[in-house]
Amino acid sequence: MKSDQISFEIALEDFDLSRLPVDEALLRADKELLASTVRAYYEDCFRELGGSTAIAVANGKVSVTWIGGDSNPVNAVLDHAIGLLNQGEFTAAEPLLRSIIAREARNGAALYNLGMMLSDTGRFDEAIDCLEDLVETGEAGANAWSALGVAQKRKGLGDEALESLRRAVSLEPDNGYALRNLAAIVAENSPQEALPLFAKATELLPNDPNSHLGLGQCLLALNRNDLADAVLKKAIEIDPYGALAERARSLRTKLSETFMREDSGASPHNDAVDACLGAMRLLDAGDAEKTKTIAFEAAMLGRGGLDINDPSSKYTLKSLSGQFTGLQLVALMYVGFKQIAPELDAGIDLSKEYEEASKRFHRSEQ
């Protein structure tokens, strides 16, 4: 291979067709179209790099040779591969990274990114091999040990993972990702020990929902509920649609119930009974559409998080005049759902309060 070029070959049957912007069934049915599309795809991949690209599709294989202009071809291809990884284009990035490693076996950035990609796509054995090659170069830092620890943990090698992550943190005590990953393993047995690690990770990574969720869960495990609620709220704000946010929302709802029931024990909570009774009166016009509208709007507001333990009336609805407390809105949603769609999970258990309020409501009707 010439010094200014990067070459690789990939079998078409190994090419992940789901990465192309063209339907897989169509491509499988038309080999000529498949060849044209794959060729265009690699032209697209390399266009931004400048230089010249030779692409051949023959005998079930696509061969790509890229010749850089004046730039360093390895660095240019590496940057491009990392860009592809950031877009989730793993299949396109892998041959580029492997072609770099074929030229430079100790290229740390290529080994690291390939190892991370293999780990993220569930190819743990290959990932561990690759990341072990990286740490054996002796030039690897905390990120490399951290990535190795994560891959080992995913593979089920808990002790090895702990050792790698401790090594990562010892190399770089202010590496937020290493701290977070170490904390996640430590928390399984000792939330107390994990707590300062997660706390430091959230300081170093203020926009990382994983660190905040981990810290929130640790605080919950240690019954430090007030602090946990604020941290979980932050996790939701950072990435409101992510799976982690769903988990944080669910934990916050349970936490609100815990707060609410702290002073009522197993008995129905008096304020919640009153709120349910109020909701039954407001929704008792026999108008199912109106009930649906109010319950729906309350539920939508609730997605942003309602403070059900704050007695101030700070919420308003478009569909119902007046100002409401968080608990009153939750009650409107709960009672509304009970009336129009009892199978729906309101996300909070007010069944005792609802039952008690129903008794009082029917007594007052008689």
Partner 1 sequence: MDPYTKNLMEEVHRTTGYPVSVEVSDGLSDHARMVSARPEAPVHLIEVNADYRAQADYIVAAQCAMMQVTWSDPSSVWGVSLQAEKANHRLEKWSKAKPLKLLDPAKSAHIGSLYLRGLVNQLFSLPLEIVVTGRIFAEAPSLHGLQSSLQDAYLRRLSSILAPSFRSTLPEEVFQTNVGMNAAMAMAWCRLTGQKAPVVPYESIGASKTGGRLLELTEDLGGQGTSQSHVQTVDAWAQLLSLRSLYTWESSDRRS
- Binding positions for partner 1, rule: CB under 8 A: 18-26, 29, 33, 36-37, 40-41, 43-44, 47, 86-88, 237, 239-243, 246, 289-290, 293, 296-297, 300, 303, 318-319
Closest CA to 112 of 155, 147, 88, 75: 147
CB of 54 to partner 1, least distance (A): 16
Nearer to partner 1, 293 or 309 (CB): 293
Q: Which residue lies nearer to partner 1 by CB, 62 or 219? A: 62
If the CB atoms of residues 55 and 186 are measured against partner 1, the closer one turns out to be 55
Q: Are strands 315-316 and 323-324 parallel, antiparallel or unpaired?
A: antiparallel
Identify whether the C-beta of residue 5 lies closer than 8 Å to the C-beta of residue 66.
Answer: yes
Report in angstroms how near the CB of residue 290 gets to partner 1 at its nearest. Answer: 8
- Write down the least CB distance from residue 29 to partner 1, Å: 6
Could you tell me the smallest distance in angstroms from the CB atom of residue 159 to partner 1? 32
C-beta of 6 vs 299, nearer to partner 1: 299
Cβ contact 51:68 at 8 Å? yes
Tell the smallest beta-carbon distance from residue 315 to partner 1 (Å).
13
Smaller CB separation from partner 1, 22 or 227: 22
Closer residue to partner 1 in complex, CB, 7/37: 37
CB neighbourhood size of 180 (10 A): 25
* Shortest Å distance, C-beta 186 to partner 1: 28
Please identify, using beta-carbon distances, which residue of 82 and 101 lies nearer to partner 1: 82
Q: Residue 282 in contact with residue 320, Cβ under 8 Å?
A: yes
Is the distance from CB of 336 to CB of 283 less than 8 angstroms?
yes
Which of these, 167, 164, 195, 160, lies nearest to 180 by C-alpha position? 195
Q: 139 or 246: whose CB is closer to partner 1? A: 246
Least distance CB 240 / partner 1 (angstroms): 6
Q: Which residues pair with 350 in a beta bridge?
A: none
At residue 316, what are phi and psi to the nearest 5 degrees? Answer: -130, 155
- The answer to whether 76 and 52 have CB atoms below 8 angstroms apart is no
Residue nearer to partner 1 on the CB measure, 179 or 329: 329
Contacts 24+ apart (CB under 8 A), 323-326: 325/275
The string of DSSP codes covering 96-137 is HHHHHHHH-TT-HHHHHHHHHHHHHTT-HHHHHHHHHHHHHT
Q: Facing residues of 10 across strands?
A: 62
Q: How far is CA 232 from CA 205, 211, 250, 252, 275, in A?
A: 15, 10, 10, 7, 26
State the minimum distance, in angstroms, from the CB of residue 215 to partner 1: 20
As measured in angstroms, the least distance from the Cβ of 43 to partner 1 is: 6
